Amino acid sequence: MIQLIVGLGNPGPEYEATRHNAGFWWVDALASQLGVRMLDDRTHKGRLARLAGPHGPVWLLQPMTFMNRSGTSVAPLARFYKIEPQSILVVHDELDLLPGQAKLKFGGSAAGHNGLKDIHSMLGTQDFWRLRLGIGHPGERAEVVNYVLKRPSPDDREALDKAIEQSLKAAPQLLAGEMDKALALIHAKPPRPKPPRPASLPPPASPTSTEDPS
């Protein structure tokens, strides 16, 4: 079961709408959906909310440490509340997925993501859940830093918002620890639109009579 949901991002208004803050957007949307407020918590170096889950309390966390120090917020909180790594879900932006895509996975490498790297380091393990929100790739490795710290285009932001909306449908399953069901919901492809029905043809006209009825 999930006991701690972490959204990754950077604090401050200058970063609020940037791609790197997609994890913050997801947690804000979840908090709104569940009717809880994210409040500043200096002890745990972040914004924090507590909610009643089906198996006990669940914490929502947005580290306010900047991305590359995310683990200094996540790990102490997890130790304080005795939350095992496998009960942690980290929501973050993902370069290797297109905007509009979201993928749920357990474990694996950080793939260059500085927030994940620091959480790995501070927890001492990679064995936690991740929800990856696609932001696309700039195409050049040297452009990655500038890319993630810029706002997405309006079309990409719309696609990201739709991915967040779709993945939030799995929130009850995530909170219940029903990860297979959550995965199926998050990875579900939208149904293809049905092709339009062909226009019905008018019935054939009756042949014109050449007989004179008089």
Asked if 23 contacts 164 with a C-beta cutoff of 8 angstroms, the reply is no
The owner of tokens 């357990």 is 106
92 is catalytic: no
Compute the radius of gyration of the chain from its Cα atoms: 24
- Hey, which residues does 13 pair with through a beta bridge? none
- Rounded CA-CA distance 81/84 in Å is 9
Asked if 15 contacts 62 with a C-beta cutoff of 8 angstroms, the reply is no
Given 20, 92, 113, 120, the catalytic residue:
20
Please state whether 136 falls in left (phi above 0), alpha (psi between -120 and 50) or beta. Answer: left
Total residue count of the chain as it appears in this document: 214
- Rounded CA-CA distance 76/51 in Å is 19
Active site residues: 20
